[in-house]
Amino acid sequence: MRISCPPFDPVHCDDPDLLDSAFYAHGDPHALWARLRAENPVYRCDPGDGREPFWVVTRHQDVSRVLRDYETFSSRRGTMLCIVDLSMPDIASDDMMPDTDPPRHRQLREPLNRALTPRAVSEQKEPIREIVRSVLRPALDGRTIDIAQEALMFPMAFTGTLMGLPQEHWPRMAELTTRTIAYDDPDYSTGSPTSTVRQAHHELFEFFREEISRRVPTDPGTDLIGILRSMELDEGPLSERQLILNCYALLLGANVTTPHALSTMVALMGEHPEQFRMAREDPGLRAGCVREVLRWSSPASHFMRYATRDVDLGGGTIRTDEPVSVWLGSANRDERAFDDPYRFDITRHPNRHLAFGIGPHYCIGAGLAQLGLRVFLDELLDLVAEVEPAGEVAHLASNFVAGYKSMPVRLVPRHRNAPTVVGSE
């Protein structure tokens, strides 16, 4: 998705088609969101083709309220606007962590959460550094690399490790997870949108089924799949189906988001070299730089909830059972929440971005993603003097993920004998 700034080209937003994936590949969602925030912050979008209307919430304060108030805005009927009919029941309801509400949600989340705290994942720091170096070092000879493509494998390498997934499957799994969210992107579609998603799900679920059955029944193991296998729900272990769905949630959460924050970081280093020079000179600014890259990129564009009662929000009345989508990319540019929101500023303080959501479903992988981005930043600053654009950028056609398909760049190396500076913060 294009990350645009004002002054925006005039856009036709009288009847915006927020479901249309092509709009995210070729249109200007930031321009539309700015207008919605100003004129219609809780907007009822009616696709007008028989699909169910849904609410579009674009201001930071309203987005936070929806995500926090799980009693009024439930996750049980699904959390993504997608190709399926929004009035249909969700097959993962109450079984897959993202599609449950507290208190059941806590039972699924807490054991995994303990394994994913920033402290718990800090052991991954050096392995992640090796992965980052293996991506960056070959690119220092002046060749053009497509950082968007390189980045796709990055989360697979650490989430695949934490889940104990065999490495030979990683490239295919990365491809399949992207297909589930870019089902009508010509480069990822394998038929109709529905069949693309079904085929990708089928193959991914088979990977997980095989992986689960490969494990010794009496020894669940200590990796994330092991934790899922030792969990209790409804007074017993998770069923095979519940195991598969939760493996899928973890992998999808990591794979479809992290690469785009990383590519955006590289693009930003090209566009705002002075900000990255500051971060190079002062490692104390690097955590802020990662936060600002997350605000700027907002890789997960929206999430969805269903109203459990009639509720007034931002001047509109949402009725029981109606779907409500919240737009994180828009909330992260809300002029009511951020000073000069279209300025990329690594010293921004406070920076209450919503890239990881907020409330009970706050991203469980946030610690891992931030560690990965931080190590990537440290290595980028250490190894690369400058980023030069080297061709046309292409955006992913997806209403869910704000991402890149292609970003050709050249990385200009720093002096070969420059000392290695790794931030301490």
In the complex, which residues of this chain contact ligand HEM (CB under 6 A)? 67, 75, 79, 97-98, 109, 116, 155, 159, 249-250, 253-254, 257-258, 261, 299-300, 303, 328, 355-357, 361, 363-365, 368-369
Q: How far apart are CA 412 and CA 181, in angstroms?
A: 33
Contact 254, 364 (CB under 8 A): no
Residue nearer to ligand HEM on the CB measure, 258 or 263: 258
Cα–Cα distance measured from residue 149 to residue 262, given in angstroms and rounded to the nearest whole number: 11
CB of 114 to ligand HEM, least distance (A): 13
- Pick the closer one to ligand HEM by CB: 25 or 80: 80
Return the biggest CA–CA distance within the chain: 65
Nearer to ligand HEM, 356 or 404 (CB): 356
- CB of 218 vs ligand HEM, minimal distance in Å: 27
Q: What is the DSSP string of 235-247?
A: TEEPPHHHHHHHH
Rounded Cα gap, residues 51 and 246, in angstroms: 28
Please provide the DSSP assignment of 153-175 as one string.
THHHHHHHHHHT--GGGHHHHHH
Beta-bridge partners for 305:
324
Rank residues 54 and 410 by Cβ distance to ligand HEM and give the closer one: 54
Query: Least distance (Å) from ligand HEM to the CB of residue 50?
Result: 26
- Residue closer to ligand HEM (CB basis): 76 or 109: 109
Q: Is 276 helix (H, G, I), strand (E, B) or coil?
A: helix
Q: Look up tokens 């994330």; give the residue.
A: 224
The answer to whether 361 and 75 are in contact (CB under 8 A) is: yes
Distance CA 179, CA 326 (A): 22
The minimum distance between CB 116 and ligand HEM, in angstroms, equals 6
Contacts of 7 (CB under 8 A, 6+ apart): none
Smallest distance, ligand HEM to C-beta of residue 191, A: 28
Residue given tokens 């997806």 in the structure block? 398
Q: Name which of 204 and 410 has its Cβ closer to ligand HEM.
A: 204
Least distance between ligand HEM and beta carbon 151 (Å): 11
311 versus 355: smaller Cβ distance to ligand HEM = 355
Please, what is the minimum distance in Å from the beta carbon of residue 354 to ligand HEM?
Answer: 7
Collapse the DSSP code of 381 into the 3-class scheme (helix H, G, I; strand E, B; otherwise coil) and give the result: helix
Residue with tokens 């700027």: 296
| Helices and strands in the chain, H and E counts | 17, 14
Q: Closer CB to ligand HEM, residue 34 or residue 224? A: 224
Quote the least distance from Cβ 14 to ligand HEM, whole Å.
29
